[in-house]
Homo-oligomer: A and B are copies of this chain.
């Protein structure tokens, strides 16, 4: 499936999952990732953080964007009001998964599209319910699939997602890191044909 756009699209993300999803939607794009200081105000409600950080990533492109469309995204995992980031090591990963075990949590993905001087942001939220895990299941997962590049220490498309998620409410792809149905609509004004 190929969709032609009126402008060159740049995905500013290192995530192989986001790259795969955007390609599966039918878009051609290049990638260009610039270092961003992923800091947000302490008092910011968790739901607002991903769009804030996605916009911050887009701002790195402001001065030399030319005619390109810059697409940025950020995903966080929130248990009650606690934000779970990427784990620093195996111990931290198992610790996060122990918090998620037997509970529902929210996955929040923010997206920002920069078109010349205009920033458009959106946020999508999904709920994930995990069954109770045993400690040996968590050790098994973390040592085999090393989820160190993933907020909350898991990938829904990994073994732990297949065998451990009882239900989700919302978009599966938002949980993977890109609300594809919303990105498609966001880019629709640029479709050729």
Contact = CB atoms under 8 A, between A and B. Distances in A.
A192 interface: no
Contact of A165 (B144, B163, B171): B171
A181 B169 contact: no
A171 B163 contact: no
A170 interface: yes
A162 B25 contact: yes
A181 B165 contact: yes
Nearest to A22: B162
A119 interface: no
A166 interface: yes
A168 B166 contact: no
17 contacts: A1-B140, A1-B144, A24-B162, A25-B159, A26-B163, A131-B181, A162-B173, A163-B184, A164-B181, A165-B172, A167-B169, A167-B170, A167-B171, A168-B168, A168-B169, A168-B170, A172-B172
Interface of A: 1, 21, 24-26, 126, 131, 140-141, 144-145, 156, 159, 162-173, 180-181, 184
